[in-house]
Amino acid sequence: MPKFFAVVLLLFASTALADGLPQAPYIQVNGHGELHVAPDMLTVSMTLEKTAMDATAARADVEARASKVLALARKLGLADKDIKAPAVTVYPQYEWHSGPGGDGKQVMMGQHVTRSIMLTLKDISRYGELVDGLFAAGVTRLDGISPDRSDRDALQRHALADAVTDAHAKAEALAESAAVHLGTVYSINDQSSARGPRPIMMGAMAASASRGAEPQAEYLNGEIEIDADVQVYYLIGK
Beta strands 181-190 and 83-84 are: unpaired
Is 89 in contact with 114 (CB distance < 8 Å)? yes
From CA 109, how far away is CA 148, in angstroms rounded? 40
Q: Which of 36, 35, 82, 81 is nearest to 221 (CA)?
A: 36
pLDDT at site 195: 67
For position 101, what pLDDT does the model report?
61
Domains and CATH numbers, the chain: 25-38+152-237 (3.30.110.170), 41-96+107-148 (3.30.70.2970)
pLDDT < 70 stretches in the chain: 1-19, 99-102, 195-196, 199-221
Considering only CA atoms, give the Rg of the chain. Answer: 29
Q: What is the pLDDT of residue 202?
A: 46
Task: Please state, in angstroms and rounded to a whole number, the distance separating the CA atoms of residues 129 and 119.
Answer: 13
Q: How far apart are CA 178 and CA 17, in angstroms?
A: 25
Residue 197 has a pLDDT of: 72
**What's the pLDDT at 129?**
95
